[in-house]
Amino acid sequence: MHRDATQTVFGAGDQDARVMLVGEQPGDQEDRQGKPFVGPAGKLLDRALEEAGIHPSEAYVTNAVKHFKFTQAEPRKRRIHKAPNLREMTACGPWLAAELAVVEPELIVVLGATAGKALLGSSFRVTQVRGTVLEEEIHGRPERLVPTVHPSSVLRSDDREAAYRGLVSDLKVAAGALS
């Protein structure tokens, strides 16, 4: 993965952040700019966080996987996102564990299936647990987590408004768990 990507995209945000948001992997824009969630999904996420009462600057934002994985029909054609596999998620695990150990967030917001599987194991199903506060041991530490959908899935949804409302509603659960 690292051979094709422009650069490694680590997390960003305050080391003392109360909440850590974990996405899947950098997208095209994130790969170019070297920062997580700076593309369209990130813009939507920022808006949803504000609406839920979590200021984006209060949050540390990162991804389960640190490189952009993509297919490209020809050079200079659009780079199409490809989901990371279990091996790639496992290979990036120590970096996520290190970020958790440094930031020690009070709450982790799990954005979608890849982040959920990376943190909670392969049986994770976002539809079953979204919008609830989970308590699990992760990398040897007790953590509280609120899973929700990935913001990119809102952008792809047939009913974008309803999907966006669902994301905000889950993030409000996270905001409530922080206060």
Q: List contacts with ligand URA (CB under 6 A).
A: 23-27, 30, 36-37, 39, 41-42, 63, 152
Residue whose CB is nearest to ligand URA in the complex, by number: 23
Kindly report the number of other CB atoms within 10 A of residue 175's CB atom: 18
Give the residue with the Cβ less far from ligand URA, 71 or 176. Answer: 71
Minimum Å gap between C-beta 9 and ligand URA is 7
Q: Give yes or no for a contact between 57 and 50, defined as CB atoms under 8 angstroms apart.
A: no
Q: What is the rounded CA–CA span in Å between residue 179 and residue 161?
A: 27
Q: What is the rounded CA–CA span in Å between residue 2 and residue 163?
A: 32
Give the residue with the Cβ less far from ligand URA, 42 or 147. Answer: 42
Give the residue with the Cβ less far from ligand URA, 63 or 148. Answer: 63
Minimum Å gap between C-beta 158 and ligand URA is 20
Minimum Å gap between C-beta 150 and ligand URA is 6
Minimum Å gap between C-beta 179 and ligand URA is 26
Give the residue with the Cβ less far from ligand URA, 22 or 142. Answer: 22
Which residue from 45, 143, 151, 132 is spatially nearest to 97, judged by alpha carbons? 143
DSSP character string of 51-108: HHT--GGGEEEEESS-S--EE-SSTTSPPEE----HHHHHHHHHHHHHHHHHH--SEE
